[in-house]
Amino acid sequence: MARHGGRGWYGRVIAAAVGVTAMAAVTSVWTAQAGPVGGGQAGAGASASPSAGSAPARVSVDIAHASDHGARGVNITIDDGPDPDWTPQVLQVLRDNSVKATFCMVGTQAEAHPDLVKAVVADGHRLCNHTVSHDTTMDTKPDSYQSQQILDAERMITEASGGVRPVYYRAPGGAFTPYSRDLAASRGMRPLGWNVDTKDFERPGAAAIVATVKSEVSNGPTILFHDAGGDRSQTVAALREILPWLKQQGYSFGFPVR
User: Which class for 77: exposed (0-12), middle (13-18), buried (19 or more C-beta within 10 A)?
Assistant: buried
Of 4, 134, 226, 227, which one is the catalytic site residue? 226
Does 62 qualify as catalytic in the annotation? no
Other C-beta atoms within 10 Å of 249: how many?
11
Name the H helices within 8-113: 9-16, 24-34, 87-96, 107-112
Does 125 qualify as catalytic in the annotation? no
User: Which class for 211: exposed (0-12), middle (13-18), buried (19 or more C-beta within 10 A)?
Assistant: middle
Helix axes 143-161, 114-122, angle to 10 degrees: 70
Instruction: Report phi then psi at 42, rounded to 5.
Output: -85, 165
Of 4, 79, 152, 197, which one is the catalytic site residue? 79
Residues identified as active-site:
79, 226
